[in-house]
C-alpha cells in the first residue's frame, strides 16, 4: 500500500551514480525532496520523463528542492544513463535488496521486479506533502509536480 500525505517519509540510505551514499534525513530542515520513482533506466518513457526534469531543473532549484531519481537499476547503469542524458541530480540504486526502499513507499511492483512510476514530494520536516502514482506508460506532467512543490512550505 502506498504511503499517505501527512505521514513521515521513510528514511533510506542508497548509493547514487557516483557511488555516494544519499540519505533522505540529510535534507531534513534544509531542502524539500522530490522523489522520482521510475521503472528502469534506458526505457523510452523514463527517458522522456528525465529529459523533462533535466530541462526544468531550474524551476525545482528555485523552489528549494532536491530531485532524486529512484529505480532498481545498479549505480553503474545510473552512471552511464546520467552521462548520456545530462542528468546532474542523483539517481539512486534501489538495487540490493531489490526494491527495498520503494517497498517502504508502496511503489515496488514485486511481480514485475521493478518500481512503478510515482512522484513523492517530501517537505523540509520529512513528511510526505504530495504523492501521485502514474501508469507506467505515462510521462508525469512536470508542470503539475512543480505547481504542487510550490504549495509546499
Give pLDDT tens digits for 35-91.
Answer: 999 999 998 887 888 888 888 888 999 999 999 999 999 999 999 999 999 999 999
Look up the pTM and report it.
Answer: 0.96
CATH of domain 28-151: 3.40.30.10
Q: Which residues are catalytic?
A: 46
Domain residue ranges of the chain, discontinuous segments joined by +? 28-151
Grid cell 526502499 is found at: 101
Q: How far is residue 72's CA from residue 98's CA, in Å, rounded to a whole number?
A: 6
Helices (H), 35-141: 44-55, 57-62, 75-85, 100-104
Amino acid at each position: 500500500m502506498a504511503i499517505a500525505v501527512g505521514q513521515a517519509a521513510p528514511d533510506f540510505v542508497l548509493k547514487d551514480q557516483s557511488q555516494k551514499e544519499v540519505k533522505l534525513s540529510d535534507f531534513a530542515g534544509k531542502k524539500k525532496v522530490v522523489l522520482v520513482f521510475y521503472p528502469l533506466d534506458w526505457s523510452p518513457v523514463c527517458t522522456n520523463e528525465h529529459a523533462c526534469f533535466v530541462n526544468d531543473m531550474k524551476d525545482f532549484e528555485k523552489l528549494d528542492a532536491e530531485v532524486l531519481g529512484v529505480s532498481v537499476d545498479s549505480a553503474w547503469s545510473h552512471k552511464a544513463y546520467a552521462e548520456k542524458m545530462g542528468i546532474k541530480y542523483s539517481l539512486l540504486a534501489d538495487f540490493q535488496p531489490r526494491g527495498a526502499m520503494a517497498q517502504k513507499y508502496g511503489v515496488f511492483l514485486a511481480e514485475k521486479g521493478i518500481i512503478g512510476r510515482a512522484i513523492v514530494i517530501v517537505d523540509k520536516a520529512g513528511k510526505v506533502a504530495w504523492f501521485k502514482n502514474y501508469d507506467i506508460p505515462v510521462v508525469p506532467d512536470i508542470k503539475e509536480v512543480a505547481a504542487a512543490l510550490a504549495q509546499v512550505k
